[in-house]
Amino acid sequence: MERQVRVRFAPSPTGPLHIGGVRTALYNYLFARQSGGKMILRIEDTDQTRFVPGAEDYIIEALTWLGIEFDEGVHVGGPFGPYRQSDRKTLYKQYSDQLLADGWAYYAFDTPQALDAKRKEYEAQKKTFQYDCRTRGEMENSLTLSADEVKQRIERGDHYVVRFKFPEHIDITVHDLIRGEVTMNSDLLDDKVLFKSDGMPTYHLANIVDDHLMEISHVIRGEEWLPSAPLHVMLYRAFGWEETMPKFAHLPLLLKPEGNGKLSKRDGDRLGFPVFPLDWHDPQSGELSSGYREKGYLPGAVVNMLALLGWNPGTEQEIFSMEELIKAFDISHISKSGAKFNVEKSKWFNHEYMQMLSDKQIAEYLKPQLTEHGISVVEHPAQVADHGSQVTTQYVEKVCAMMKNRINFPSELWETTFYFFEAPKEYNPADLKKRWKAGMTTHMNKILEILDTVPFEHDALHKAILDDYIVANQFNMGQIMNSFRIALIGKTVGPDLLTFVMVIGKEETVNRLKKAVETIGEIEV
């Protein structure tokens, strides 16, 4: 019988969740949803020395923001709880004891000093010390000490650890859904610590026990865990759980935009893009690491971008909603090699997702920026006192509709649209020098005259200004229209000028143009 799919995302709360971790959560989620399975959030906090307050809440907030939902977990409960390993603490000792009793593990009493001395001794011979089948016979453990001695040491409360006892000279094969068969010889593997005398299991023991008890069917996690997989396979064997051992899929690393290294926290700071989903204020150092959300990325864009970092749909399609990802996702299309992070591409995704928002939604982003610049937004035109300090919601939405294709992020809205809301405070000197040539005041006065006499409509103004005045008189089109633009906007940027004129209206156009003639007129050359 096919097992029910049950997958888990099992972060350790040691700091903010890196986007590589977010991608792991996402792939688990897509896989769970497409197979009608369950998605579980388990917090692996057995290493108390690395515990960071706030990290668990951060993880939950980030995944919730991205729309990655859980069926069971530390924040939603469920039938296999508790889902935080520190709350399961009392459960692990019996499993450690079972391995000891069955000869799969042994007590080791070596002090940190003794281990250090051993390391130095090996270094002196240009060798590296590893606690394994070759060296365990020279150390202080239950394999070398008498049973009585071991008993005494434990009874008097000596510190100890329980180590896994790898059988010698065997090949251990991990069947990986992405990489195929990965085989390692047990002689190369170190006898990892599973349990400590303070009563805490290590990651390896707790992870395997919990995956078993929580009936996890697939372990989808980062490539950095591949070296631990042979130990995990052996633990399933040692416990007699091989029959229900989960299937493994180790995801490729996320790489730096340049070079081949792993994408690190520092890269984000250095290259100016976030590597965390949300802003993170480090509780110890107070340092701020920036997040996608605060940078103005939309959750859909982040999900879409991450989904394609390491997985491809086998088609040209690039834009995927979460629903589409759930349908299209396929573990066999995950690449083996690392996926290079691409900053420009992530901006492109956000641009595309911004375009999918309604004008009303975009206007909501722009409104607070307007308030910041002293412009209030009112609902009805009747409330508008004087243009410039008050605009209607309808006007803001119209501006957004016209300009949204120029922005990647909501934060760019003001700098992209400000001239729809305020007259130029200054005129760009370089643009003026290039465009505002002798006689320009005369041309601008002529445009003022046309505005006064011709119906205020796009086509009528186009004919009167461009055809009947500029072209018919063989004037310099670029210079006149660009000077007109400088007069209205302050520099030579912006959308089609007459379309812009139609949006700001006749009165505002005339005012801006008159002011420009007065201010700049004198400096004409």
List the catalytic residues.
265
Task: Tell me the per-residue interface mask from 197 to 226 with ligand GLU, x by CB under 6 A, - otherwise.
Answer: ------x---x-----------x-x---x-
Considering the complex, state which of residue 78 and residue 521 has its C-beta at the smaller distance from ligand GLU: 78
User: What's the closest the beta carbon of residue 220 comes to ligand GLU, in angstroms?
Assistant: 8
**8 A C-beta contact, residue 491 and residue 517:** no
Asked if residue 60 binds ligand GLU (CB under 6 A), the reply is no
Phi-psi region of 399 (alpha: psi -120 to 50; beta: other; left: phi over 0): alpha
Considering the complex, state which of residue 200 and residue 219 has its C-beta at the smaller distance from ligand GLU: 219
164 to 203, contacts with ligand GLU by CB under 6 A?
A: 203
Amino acid letter, 216 = I
User: What's the closest the beta carbon of residue 50 comes to ligand GLU, in angstroms?
Assistant: 10
User: What's the closest the beta carbon of residue 320 comes to ligand GLU, in angstroms?
Assistant: 25
Q: Per CB under 6 A, which region of 9-17, 59-67, 108-116, 371-379 contacts ligand GLU?
A: 9-17
Asked if residue 15 binds ligand GLU (CB under 6 A), the reply is no
Position among 10, 40, 145, 174 found at the interface with ligand GLU (CB under 6 A)? 10
Q: Per CB under 6 A, which region of 6-14, 303-311, 391-399, 475-483 contacts ligand GLU?
A: 6-14
Asked if residue 140 binds ligand GLU (CB under 6 A), the reply is no
- 153 CB neighbour count, 10 Å cutoff: 18
Considering the complex, state which of residue 104 and residue 248 has its C-beta at the smaller distance from ligand GLU: 248
203 Cβ partners below 8 Å, 6+ apart?
12, 44, 46, 47
Return the structure tokens found at 506: 């006749």
User: What's the closest the beta carbon of residue 81 comes to ligand GLU, in angstroms?
Assistant: 17
Amino acid letter, 11 = P
User: What's the closest the beta carbon of residue 203 comes to ligand GLU, in angstroms?
Assistant: 6
Position among 29, 38, 44, 268 found at the interface with ligand GLU (CB under 6 A)? 44
**Bridge partners for 426 per DSSP:** none
Per residue, the 3-state secondary structure of 91-150, as one string, reads HCHHHHHHHHHCCCEEEECCCHHHHHHHHHHHHHCCCCCCCCCCCHHHCCECCCCCHHHH
Asked if residue 12 binds ligand GLU (CB under 6 A), the reply is yes
Considering the complex, state which of residue 225 and residue 236 has its C-beta at the smaller distance from ligand GLU: 225
Asked if residue 11 binds ligand GLU (CB under 6 A), the reply is yes
Phi-psi region of 240 (alpha: psi -120 to 50; beta: other; left: phi over 0): left
Q: How far apart are CA 114 and CA 329, in angstroms?
A: 50
Considering the complex, state which of residue 10 and residue 488 has its C-beta at the smaller distance from ligand GLU: 10
- Helix or strand run (H / E) with residue 390: strand 390-392
Considering the complex, state which of residue 44 and residue 267 has its C-beta at the smaller distance from ligand GLU: 44
Ranges assigned E (strand) in 186-344: 193-196, 218-222, 247-251, 254-255, 280-281, 288-289, 339-340
User: What's the closest the beta carbon of residue 41 comes to ligand GLU, in angstroms?
Assistant: 12
Considering the complex, state which of residue 15 and residue 274 has its C-beta at the smaller distance from ligand GLU: 15
- For residue 90, the 8-state DSSP code is G
Q: How far apart are CA 239 and CA 212, in angstroms?
A: 10
Asked if residue 303 binds ligand GLU (CB under 6 A), the reply is no
Q: Per CB under 6 A, which region of 4-12, 235-243, 248-256, 459-467 contacts ligand GLU?
A: 4-12
**Bridge partners for 171 per DSSP:** 185
Per the document, the length of the chain is 525
Q: Give residues in contact with ligand GLU (CB under 6 A).
A: 10-12, 44, 203, 207, 219, 221, 225
